[in-house]
Chains A and B, each alone.
Chain A
Amino acid sequence: MNWFRDKVLPVLTVVLAIIVMWYAGAIALNAPWAYDKATRTGEKLTITTLIVDTWTQDKPKLPTPDQVLREIWKTTGAMVLKGRGWSKRSLIYHAWVTLSATVLGFALGGVFGILLAVGIVHNRAMDMSVMPWVIASQTIPILAIAPMVIVVLNAIGISGLLPKAIISMYLSFFPVVVGMVKGLRSPDRMQIDQMRTWFASRWQMFWKLRLPASMPYLFTSLKVAMAASLVGTIVGELPTGAVAGLGARLLAGSYYGQTIQIWSALIMAAVLAAILVGLIGVLQRVTLKRMGMLR
């Protein structure tokens, strides 16, 4: 019961407050259009009709949560029931396109980041020359080159999944490098000296001490990397001419003023992010528990 009062109740309150603010915002933002319509048809708007109208417009400035949810159901569940779950109009298809590029980019970025971190920890020259650039590059808005990467790779004949995955990789490898370097260096002097007294080779030191010690850091940075990877994929989908993927849905929605479609793609992306980051969280729990590192 304490758990409910200390954890669930506050979060529920905040979420509820956000939803209430959302509905209120929908009234405020959509009211001008409702008044506009009413004066044209010569109707008189009472409070109730105004609210009903603002919550049910076709192209509202701010759609209400239930409108968005209905749109999501229409483009996912309802289409699956009709057996067209993989058609190009279904959100599942677009989410899948985004998901596959995200995961591929995340995997590439993770592996590359870990390798770079191992090199940096073991080679002083590499540490001194590469590490400042890795940190400096984080202050650079890398996403700005996303359109260029897409177009250039397209020009040399690489298209589809890989260009987007490369952008995701680029975004997701930085947190992994920084986290892993920190993690691989986390064993303290005592532990390293202990390994030395056992005459451990560098190799053994790495596998038996540094790598296990780095696991908590690795998982924390993997979560950041996964979120960054998803952002990278979505931005990578913008300049491809709105073909497929959640980013393409956003762009198409903004071209045609389909606000409900934009919001449904956004919510879908949020759900995707939550699932992916949550999965890593579960993995983290299981791994650290088996290693006896979970406090």
Chain B
Amino acid sequence: MSWVVGSVAFWLASWWVNTRLSAMKGSRIAGFIVPALFGISLLVLWEGMVKGFNINPVLLPAPTDIAAKFASSLPILWTDFVQTFVKGALSGYVIGCGAAFLTAIVVDRSPFLQKGLLPVGNFVAALPIIGMAPIMVMWFGFDWQSKAAIVVVMVFFPMLVNTVQGLQASDVMQRDLMQTYAATYGQSLRKLRLPAAMPFVFNGLKICTTLALIGAIVAEFFGSPIKGMGFRISTEVGRLALDMVWAEIAVAAIAGSAFYGIVAMIEKIVTFWHPSQRRG
């Protein structure tokens, strides 16, 4: 019982501290401490509830158990990570986003095609494309190639729509100015419209990071060699070894956030001029 009371007390105390901290205006550190403290207090609450109510680890393992499992099975987690993330998700992400970007530039010359592609692309982006995973597994086999293929299909349309929109983002004045400089199509594309499109391009790239990881993991539910994050999750769930599943989810979470973070960091460097990146 002391577990339950203690963890709830800790949670309440940290909430009180957070209220105090957030009332202090203008401090940079509070913006970092408050969410961190909230996350920690949730973990403590989880630990306390599991320990206090003696919840069966088959249903919900405690965070400490998951951490122990994580530490003890690092080699397995690493091979799964390489198989799913590096081979499946990353290669698919690069191919898919690259292809979409090039397609957008090719279509850029024809307003007619753009008008047709935008609605269709928006529609396809809303479809449950993940359902194509079994087809890709059938076409490209069990190994990472099929995972990369489904990732390519999943990221293509969101990326295409964003890039096409981005290429239209420069305004008429700016384009007119380029024309008065007698800039060729290539020059105005390189020097004005591509840089102006970057915020949109990175928006697409950021959306696609999550899609890529989801695609690679779910595609493994339909068939995979005996490694990979999706494979491990589905088999360990079958064996009711939930601590391993949670460890795998932790890997997915870390990989997903890091992936997103890296893309966001590149965005900051590339689009330093955009209002959303300037420091007020």
Contact: B116 with A13, CB < 8 Å?
yes
Contact: B217 with A144, CB < 8 Å?
yes
Query: Would you give the shortest CB distance from A279 to chain B, in whole angstroms?
Result: 13
Interface residues of B in 113-133 (CB under 8 A from A): 113-117, 119-120, 123, 126-128, 130-133
Of B31-39, B173-181, B196-204, the one contacting chain A is B31-39
Contact: A14 with B123, CB < 8 Å?
no
A-chain residues with CB within 8 Å of residue B218 when the two chains form the complex: 143-144, 235, 238
Instruction: Mark each residue of chain A from 234 to 266: 1 if its CB lies under 8 Å from any CB of chain B, else 0.
Output: 110011000000110011011001010011011
In the bound complex, CA of A253 to CA of B242 (Å): 28
- Best-surrounded residue of A128, A142, A235 (most CB of chain B within 10 A): A128
Instruction: Mark each residue of chain A from 1 to 30: 1 if its CB lies under 8 Å from any CB of chain B, else 0.
Output: 000001101111111001000000000010
A222 located at the interface, meaning its Cβ lies under 8 Å from any Cβ of chain B in the complex? no
Q: Given A129-B37, A230-B128, A270-B127, A139–B113 Cβ distance below 8 Å?
A: no
B-chain residues with CB within 8 Å of residue A140 when the two chains form the complex: 210, 252-253, 256-257
Chain A: interface size category: 35 or more
> Chain A interface mostly helix, strand, loop or mixed?
helix
Q: Given A11-B119, A15-B120, A152-B59, A144–B233 Cβ distance below 8 Å?
A: yes
In the bound complex, CA of A128 to CA of B26 (Å): 12
Instruction: Mark each residue of chain B from 13 to 27: 1 if its CB lies under 8 Å from any CB of chain A, else 0.
Output: 001001101110000
Q: Which residue of chain A lies nearest to B17 when distances are taken between CB atoms in the complex? A: A125
B130 CB contact (under 8 Å) in A145, A155, A234? A234
Contact: A139 with B38, CB < 8 Å?
no
B-chain residues with CB within 8 Å of residue A101 when the two chains form the complex: none
A-chain residues with CB within 8 Å of residue B257 when the two chains form the complex: 136, 139-140
Contact: A139 with B35, CB < 8 Å?
no
A124 located at the interface, meaning its Cβ lies under 8 Å from any Cβ of chain B in the complex? yes
In the bound complex, CA of A156 to CA of B221 (Å): 23
A117 located at the interface, meaning its Cβ lies under 8 Å from any Cβ of chain B in the complex? no
B-chain residues with CB within 8 Å of residue A133 when the two chains form the complex: 35, 38-39
B-chain residues with CB within 8 Å of residue A136 when the two chains form the complex: 257
B-chain residues with CB within 8 Å of residue A45 when the two chains form the complex: none
Chain B: interface size category: 35 or more
A148 CB contact (under 8 Å) in B112, B237, B260? B237
In the bound complex, CA of A22 to CA of B258 (Å): 37
In the bound complex, CA of A234 to CA of B213 (Å): 17
Contact: B138 with A127, CB < 8 Å?
no
Q: Which residue of chain B lies nearest to A265 when distances are taken between CB atoms in the complex? A: B131
In the bound complex, CA of A257 to CA of B112 (Å): 39
B139 located at the interface, meaning its Cβ lies under 8 Å from any Cβ of chain A in the complex? yes
In the bound complex, CA of A111 to CA of B276 (Å): 30
Q: Which residue of chain B lies nearest to A268 when distances are taken between CB atoms in the complex? A: B131
Interface residues of A in 159-200 (CB under 8 A from B): none
B48 located at the interface, meaning its Cβ lies under 8 Å from any Cβ of chain A in the complex? no
B115 CB contact (under 8 Å) in A7, A250, A253, A263? A7
B-chain residues with CB within 8 Å of residue A118 when the two chains form the complex: none
Residues of A within 8 A of B (CB): 6-7, 9-15, 18, 29, 61, 124-125, 127-133, 136, 138-145, 147-148, 151-152, 155-156, 223, 227, 230-231, 234-235, 238-239, 246-247, 250-251, 253-254, 257, 259, 262-263, 265-266, 269-270, 273-274, 277
20 A/B residue pairs, CB under 8 Å, sorted by A: A11-B119, A14-B113, A128-B22, A128-B30, A128-B35, A129-B18, A132-B35, A139-B260, A140-B252, A141-B214, A143-B218, A144-B218, A227-B126, A227-B128, A250-B131, A251-B134, A254-B223, A266-B131, A270-B127, A270-B128
9 extra interchain contacts, Cβ-Cβ under 8 A, other than A29-B139, A250-B134, A253-B134? A10-B115, A125-B18, A133-B39, A144-B214, A144-B248, A147-B233, A152-B60, A155-B240, A231-B130
